C-alpha cells in the first residue's frame, strides 16, 4: 500500500462524509418535492449525484494506491426544514464542515509528505471553494427574496435549469 494506515482510515471516513452529503441533499430534494418546489428539488437531486461521485473518486483512489475501502453506516439525514432558506442555510453549513474535513486531509498529506494524496486532494480543495460559493450565493438570494412568493417562484425556476 502506497499510503499510511492513518491516511487510509481518514480517506475512508471521507467516503462516509461524501455519502452522507449525498444522502442529506437527496433528503432535501425529497422535501422540496413534497412542497412542490420542483426546481429546488432538481438542484438538490443533482447535488446528491455529485456527492456520490465525490465518494467514488476517493473509492477509486484507495484502490489505485493499493489501500482498502471500508464502508461504514450512513447517518440518517434530517427530513424536513422550516423554509427553503432554512434548507439552503443547512446546506451551506454542511459544505463548510466538508471544507474543514478536506483541509484536515490536506494537512495530513503534507504532514506525512504524501505527495500523491496531496495532489489527489487538490481537486477537492478547488471543488469546495465552488460548493461553498454556490451555496452562499443561493442563501443570499433567498434572504433578499424573504417571503415574496414571486421571488421564490422565480428562483425555483432558475435553479431547476442547473
How many helices (H) and strands (E) in the chain?
A: 5, 0
* Cell reading at 54: 465525490
Q: Using the rule CB under 6 A, which residue among 8, 18, 43, 155 binds ligand OFO?
A: 18
Answer yes or no whether residue 54 interacts with ligand OFO by CB under 6 A. yes
Answer yes or no whether residue 139 interacts with ligand OFO by CB under 6 A. no
Nearer CB in complex with ligand OFO: 2/56: 56
Q: Using the rule CB under 6 A, which residue among 32, 62, 95, 118 binds ligand OFO?
A: 95
Answer yes or no whether residue 114 interacts with ligand OFO by CB under 6 A. no
Rounded-to-integer distance, Cα 78 and Cα 87, Å: 10
Shortest distance, position 101 Cβ to ligand OFO, whole Å: 8
Only one residue has cell 432554512, namely 86
Answer yes or no whether residue 98 interacts with ligand OFO by CB under 6 A. yes
Rounded-to-integer distance, Cα 91 and Cα 131, Å: 10
Rounded-to-integer distance, Cα 18 and Cα 57, Å: 10
By beta-carbon distance, which residue lies closest to ligand OFO?
21
Answer yes or no whether residue 156 interacts with ligand OFO by CB under 6 A. no
What is the number of other CB atoms lying within 10 angstroms of the CB of residue 18?
Answer: 23
SS3 73: coil
Nearer CB in complex with ligand OFO: 54/109: 54
Which stretches of the chain bind ligand OFO, using CB under 6 A? 18, 21, 51, 54, 95, 98, 127, 131
Amino acid at each position: 500500500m502506497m499510503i499510511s494506515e492513518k491516511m487510509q482510515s481518514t480517506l475512508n471516513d471521507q467516503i462516509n462524509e461524501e455519502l452522507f452529503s449525498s444522502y442529506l441533499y437527496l433528503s432535501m430534494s425529497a422535501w422540496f418535492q413534497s412542497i412542490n418546489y420542483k426546481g429546488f428539488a432538481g438542484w438538490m437531486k443533482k447535488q446528491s449525484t455529485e456527492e456520490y461521485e465525490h465518494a467514488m473518486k476517493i473509492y477509486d483512489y484507495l484502490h489505485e494506491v493499493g489501500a482498502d475501502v471500508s464502508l461504514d453506516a450512513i447517518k440518517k439525514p434530517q427530513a424536513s426544514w422550516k423554509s427553503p432558506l432554512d434548507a439552503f442555510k443547512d446546506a451551506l453549513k454542511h459544505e463548510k464542515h466538508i471544507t474543514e474535513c478536506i483541509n484536515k486531509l490536506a494537512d495530513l498529506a503534507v504532514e506525512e509528505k504524501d505527495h500523491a494524496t496531496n495532489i489527489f486532494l487538490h481537486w477537492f480543495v478547488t471543488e469546495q471553494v465552488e460548493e461553498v460559493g454556490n451555496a452562499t450565493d443561493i442563501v443570499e438570494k433567498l434572504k433578499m427574496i424573504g417571503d415574496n412568493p414571486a421571488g421564490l417562484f422565480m428562483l425555483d425556476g432558475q435553479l431547476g435549469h442547473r
